[in-house]
Amino acid sequence: MIKLKAVLALTLGCLLTLSVQAVEVRDHHKEVIGKDCKTCHDNGIKQFPSDQSCLQCHDVDDLAEQTARNEEDKWQNPHNNLHYGKELPCQECHGEHQPKQPMCNNCHTFKFDKHKQ
Amino acid sequence: MKDANLLGRRNFIKGMGAAAGVAIAAPAMAISEKADGVKWDKEVEVLIIGSGFAGLAAAIEASRKGAKDVHIFEKMSYFGGNSAINGGLFAAPGTPMQKQEGVKDSVDRMVADQMKSGRGVADEALLRHVAEHAVEALQMTMDAGSEFHPYLQQLGGHSVARTYQTTVSCGAGITQPLLNECRKLGVHTHNRAKFEGFLVGDKGEIVGVKMRENYHFGEDQPGKISHIRAKRGVIMATGGFAQNINLRMAQDPTLTAEVGCTNAPGATGEGMYEMFRLGAIPVHLAHIQSGPWASPDEGGFGYVSNYTIYNFPHSLAIHRLTGKRFMNEIADRKTRADAELSCRDEKGEALPPILITSYKDSKKHPNTKKVIKYNVGWKFDTIEELAKHFEVPLKPLKAQIEEYNSYVKSGDDKQFGKNMTKAKDKFIEAPFTVVRLWPKVHYCQGGVQITTKAEVKDSFTGQPISGLYAAGEVCGGIHGVSRLGSCSIPECMVMGMTAARSVMQA
């Protein structure tokens, strides 16, 4: 019985680690990640969150302002870029359970020093 | 030197290719079924698959022709397909800017240039149809708010300057306004919706499609299948297959994972192959074009491509081993790509050639600053510095530049017969800007055969498959062996508009 409990604890521990530790948790996500999965997984736990999920808390215009670049490079703003405007879904560049690269890197050598996976 | 970069980049792409291969294999295979007894989840009037130039133009035209319920389905999470990341170059004959610049051009002349590049197997009727309606399509982009550079360009293989380019030097300067226009007109746009096969009626006509919703490209997740009836018809605007390494190698084994690609990741071809399974006629699949203006120092289309397209007419391309020219810098794409691939060192290893331009001329293109800033191109004050950096023998290089400058003066290129019109008075002088060249897989000339009404033809009957239309790169045979630069956007837009007109008349 004790053994079983230990296995269970270990399994649960692993699950929790899986969801929390995979990437460095952003401070503002500590409240939700690993506690209530449905906060983000609005399409069901086994499906990816919807593209609108992140927008429950984040505002695209604010994000665009935070990552704005100067006039010459204005279209390199990942949150308001030349190719897709403000419509690029968050999950293209950000993941909570797996690291991701900025999508621009497919074709460009831009640096995004503050990019958090 | 940055040769290590070339290899690094290629290995990176190889890794990507392998990863994508695994991911694509995971979801259930697309396959068409009889529509008998299907429970319809939704019914729409006009159903368009793909959101690039062709899909967007089709949606706008269908709406203008009176369709009230037009739907665009896009597999990726974002709209615009490959159209959102290309060079935004638009060729048309008899445009206002040609009149202004005194360029004599005509539908016949543009078709003749394309027939030549197509090496005898291009489809003249389709080329003519596109050329005749190209100005109309250009107008559609302007009406939606696209803005263009105030000058014309003469691209490789064109006998005159007839190419417009968006002010952002990218197709997004067209897709973004067209997408906005679609929304203004009330077109419904659905992202993360993957086409999974046709639903076929009793007489072999297309009555609808299966669509996987909540689809995440390259990820393993179930999503949900829905059956959608299309009252008037289905327009396939799903693009090419340049990103599908298995499929492109099946056609041309030299296009391995080691060859880069300029396309958006979604260009994987399953819409086209599903039409073949249905009975569509495959044309020219093995004619896959590489862009000779790409750089090994960045991924995809990047910044260099537009820089070189603009600068080729007044630049020289140099083989680094000999210090001499090796091609006509404005020959058609295939001629140049083949010439570049032949640039190798003594051991046969790839030795990307360099393109040398006078800074005074290159700086007129908005990308020049960025190319230097993002370290994918370089500026040199002297020829000695340049030669040292790229390990080019100095003496022959100096002699070559002198010789080339005499052609600029005489207007007659005795080495390669380059059309020197756009090089007039543009002598190669310090300071210089330089980029490295290496081809990347860019465009699939092959695809399904269509009529000039954008109907998809059946292999056995030779008749159009009822209810099915196709437009853009998914169609084949139009350009033949090699497509001329800036001729895809007019084709996509015109055939998208044509498909919409046909669907509304059917």
DSSP assignment of B370-412: HHHHTTSSEEESSHHHHHHHHT--HHHHHHHHHHHHHHHHHT-
The β-bridge relationship of strands B432-436 and B354-358 is antiparallel
State the average pLDDT over residues B370-397.
97
Q: From the candidates B212, B248, B325, B333, which is the catalytic residue?
A: B333
Contact B78 A87 (CB under 8 A): yes
Closest residue of B to A106, CA-based? B299
* Residue-level pLDDT at A2: 45
| Domains delineated in chain B | 34-242+443-505 (3.50.50.60), 293-438 (3.90.700.10)
User: Would you say B232 and B221 are in contact if contact means Cβ atoms under 8 Å apart?
Assistant: no
**Token pair of A34, please?**
């690993």
**Which of B85, B192, B369 minimises the CB distance to A83?**
B85
**Contact (CB<8Å) B214/A88:** no
Q: B18 falls in which pLDDT band (50, 70, 90)?
A: very low
Give the model's confidence band at B493: pLDDT under 50 very low, under 70 low, under 90 confident, else very high. very high
Residue B3 has pLDDT above 90, yes or no: no
Q: Please compute Rg for chain B using Cα positions.
A: 23
The predicted structure's pLDDT at residue B197: 97
B180-207 pLDDT tens trace:
999 999 999 999 999 999 999 999 999 9
Q: Give the pLDDT confidence score for residue A115 in this predicted structure.
A: 87
Tell me which residue of B488, B449, B484 sits closest to B137, measured CA to CA.
B488
Q: Which neighbouring-strand residues pair with B229?
A: B43, B208
Model confidence at A23: pLDDT above 70: no
Report d(CA B70, CA B190) in Å as an integer. Answer: 11
Distance from A2 to chain B by nearest Cα, in Å?
37
Q: Where are the beta strands (DSSP E) in B166-300?
A: 188-190, 194-200, 206-213, 224-236, 282-283, 288-291
Contact B213, B193 (CB under 8 A): yes
Cβ contact, residue pair A108, B170, below 8 Å: no
Indicate whether A5 pLDDT > 60.
no
Would you say residue B234 has pLDDT above 90? yes
**pLDDT confidence band for B418 (50 / 70 / 90):** very high
Altogether, the residues listed in chain A come to a count of 117
Which residues on A lie below 8 Å from B376 (Cβ)? 109
To the nearest whole angstrom, how far is the Cα of B374 from the nearest Cα of chain A? 6
Q: Do B85 and A50 touch (CB under 8 A)?
A: no
- pLDDT band for position A1 (cuts 50, 70, 90): very low
Query: Is B333 labeled as catalytic in the residue annotation?
Result: yes
Confirm if B83 and B263 have CB atoms less than 8 A apart: no
pLDDT of residue A3 exceeding 80, the answer is no
Residues 52-81 of A with CB under 8 A from B: 72, 75
Question: What is the reported pLDDT for B22?
Answer: 39
Count the neighbouring beta carbons within 10 Å of the beta carbon of residue B14.
15
What pLDDT does A4 receive?
A: 46
Q: Which residue has the higher pLDDT, A98 or B179?
A: B179
For residue B486, is it left (φ>0), alpha (ψ between -120 and 50) or beta? left
Assess whether pLDDT exceeds 70 at residue B17: no
CB contact under 8 A, A91 and B216: yes
Strands B194-200 and B206-213, bridge-based pairing: antiparallel
Q: Are B172 and A108 within 8 A, CB to CB? A: no
A93 Cβ under 8 Å from any chain B Cβ: no
Residue B79 to residue A85, Cβ atoms within 8 A = no
Q: Are strands B464-470 and B42-49 parallel, antiparallel or unpaired?
A: unpaired
What is the reported pLDDT for B450?
Answer: 98
| Beta-strand pair B42-49/B224-236 | parallel
Inter-residue contact B401 to B450 (CB < 8 Å):
no
Contacts of A46 in chain B (CB under 8 A): 221-222
Please choose, from the candidates A79, A62, A87, A78, the residue with its C-alpha nearest in 3D space to the C-alpha of residue A111.
Answer: A78
Tokens describing residue B206:
């297309």
Nearest to B77 among A92, A106, A109 (CB): A92
Quick one: closest CA in B to A75, which residue? B168
Element (H, E) at B177: helix B172-184
d(CA A80, CA A65): 9
Instruction: Return the pLDDT at A24.
Output: 65
Instruction: Give the pLDDT mean for B466-473.
Output: 98
Q: Which residues contact B491 (CB under 8 A, 6 or more apart)?
A: B130, B472, B478, B479
pLDDT given for residue B4 in this prediction: 37
**Residues in A touching B78 (Cβ below 8 Å):** 83-84, 87-89, 92
Per-residue tokens: B442: 């860019």
Q: What are phi and psi of B92, to 5 degrees?
A: -155, 145
Mean pLDDT, residues B42-59 taken together: 98
How far apart (Å, rounded) are the C-alpha atoms in residues B115 and B121? 8
What residues in A contact B222, CB-CB < 8 Å?
A: 46-47
| Alpha-carbon gap: A108 to the closest alpha carbon of chain B (Å) | 5
Show residues of chain B in contact with A83, CB under 8 Å: 78, 80, 84-85, 170, 172
Chain B residues within an 8 Å CB radius of A52: none
Chain B residue closest in CA terms to A110 = B374
Kindly state the tokens that stand for A112. 């995004």
Residue in chain B closest to A82 (alpha carbons) equals B172
Least confident of A16-20, A47-51, B167-171, B282-286: A16-20
Residues B104-132 have pLDDT tens digits of 999 999 999 999 999 999 999 999 999 99
B contact set with A (CB within 8 A): 77-80, 84-85, 168, 170, 172, 176, 191-192, 214, 216, 219, 221-223, 265, 297-303, 369, 374-376
The answer to whether residues B485 and B330 touch, using CB atoms and an 8 Å cutoff, is: no
Q: Is the pLDDT of residue A7 over 70?
A: no
Q: Give B248 or A37, the one with higher predicted confidence.
A: B248
Q: Is the pLDDT of residue B313 over 90?
A: yes
pLDDT band at B154 (very low <50, low <70, confident <90, very high): very high
Tokens representing B256 are 């391995």
Contact A47 B84 (CB under 8 A): no
Q: Would you call B374 and A110 a contact, using CB atoms and an 8 Å cutoff?
A: yes
Q: How far apart are CA B451 and CA B444, in angstroms?
A: 18
Of the candidates A47, A88, A109, the beta carbon closest to that of B78 is on A88
What pTM did the predictor assign? Answer: 0.89
From A94's Cα to the closest Cα of chain B, the distance in A is 13
Rg of chain A, C-alpha, whole Å: 18
Mean pLDDT of chain B: 93
pLDDT at A97: 84
| A9 band by pLDDT with thresholds 50, 70 and 90 | very low
pLDDT single digits (tens) B338-360: 999 999 999 999 999 999 999 99
Interchain proximity B191–A92, CB inside 8 Å: no
Is residue B265 reached through a cis peptide bond, with omega within 30 degrees of 0 on the bond before it?
no
Residue pairs spanning A and B at CB distance below 8 A: 65
Q: How far apart are CA B327 and CA B335, in angstroms?
A: 8
Top residue of A106, A110, A111 to mutate, by most chain B CBs within 10 Å, is A106
Q: Is A52 helix (H, G, I), strand (E, B) or coil?
A: coil
Query: Rounded to the nearest 5°, which phi and psi values hold at B284?
Result: 55, 35
* Whether pLDDT at B487 is above 50: yes
Q: Which residue has the higher pLDDT, B483 or A96?
A: B483
List Cβ neighbours of B367 (8 Å cut-off, separation of 6 or more): B169, B303, B304, B306, B307, B310
Q: Contact, B338 vs B331, CB < 8 A?
A: no
CA distance A12 to chain B (A): 23
Taking CA atoms, B355 is separated from B224, B294, B321, in Å, by 50, 11, 14
B contacts of A105 (beta carbons < 8 Å): 299
Dump pLDDT digits (tens) for A38-64.
Answer: 889 998 888 899 999 999 999 999 999
Q: Which residues of A touch B223 (CB under 8 A)?
A: 47
Specify which residues B213 forms β-bridges with. Answer: B224
Among chain B residues, the shortest Cα distance to A49 is held by B214
Which secondary structure element, helix H or strand E, spans residue B457, and what is its range? strand B455-457
The whole-chain average pLDDT of chain A stands at: 80
- B156 φ, ψ (degrees, to nearest 5): -50, 130
SS3 B264: coil
Chain A residues with beta carbon closer than 8 angstroms to that of B192: 51
State residue B497's pLDDT score. Answer: 98
**Residue B208, SS3?**
strand
